């Protein structure tokens, strides 16, 4: 059994909802196999309150959550990333910074719950739906035998996860 810890970065535009929820879910579900991070191309001022509401039950330290620029992860002293996932279509279409070390990347698009307009109950329901969708993909990803797969096989698996219906 390999003891390697994989660094994973989830990217979105605002880094206030989807990428934050992905970071928390992989951090808590990964059972020490993953160090998850999130960032945005144009980070919001604060994590969305409904995203915080969704992740609160995971036990993850909520006070550590903040919106971050993806520039923080392109510096020489930043953690080396093994995997990078875009979780929104807008970020997937942007020109990303150079990531050293050739991380494996994939696009796992999710609807933006922060952009939904409706009643508080409707907004909460959309956040719950997106949280469950991210949870489903994190379950599949966290169960992959990464230490046994070679790079091209991992890339194919990650692309398939992103294309699977949610």
66 within 8 A of 44, measured Cβ to Cβ: no
Active site annotation includes 67: no
* CA–CA separation, 75 and 91 (whole Å): 19
Token pair, residue 50, equals 């409904």
Catalytic residue among 8, 9, 11, 12: 12
Instruction: Tell me the C-alpha to C-alpha distance, in Å, between residue 134 and each of 24, 32, 153.
Output: 10, 19, 22
- Both tokens assigned to 82: 């093994």
Annotated active-site residue in 8, 47, 88, 104: 88
Query: Which of the residues 29, 44, 96, 135 is marked catalytic?
Result: 96
Active-site residues: which are they? 12, 88, 96
């Amino acid at each position: 059994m390999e003891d390697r810890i994989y660094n994973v970065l989830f990217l979105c535009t605002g880094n206030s909802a989807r990428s934050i929820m992905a970071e928390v879910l992989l951090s808590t579900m990964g059972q020490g196999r993953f160090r998850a991070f999130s960032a945005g191309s144009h980070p919001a001022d604060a994590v969305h309150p409904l995203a915080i509401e969704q992740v609160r039950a995971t036990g993850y330290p909520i006070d550590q959550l903040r919106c971050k620029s993806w520039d923080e992860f392109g510096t020489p002293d930043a953690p080396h990333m093994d995997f990078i996932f875009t979780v929104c279509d807008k970020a997937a279409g942007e020109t990303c910074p150079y990531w050293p070390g050739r991380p494996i990347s994939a696009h796992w698009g999710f609807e933006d719950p922060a952009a939904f307009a409706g009643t508080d109950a409707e907004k909460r329901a959309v956040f719950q739906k997106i949280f469950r969708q991210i949870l489903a993909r994190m379950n599949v990803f966290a169960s992959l035998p990464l230490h046994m797969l070679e790079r091209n096989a991992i890339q194919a698996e990650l692309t398939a996860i992103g294309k699977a219906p949610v």
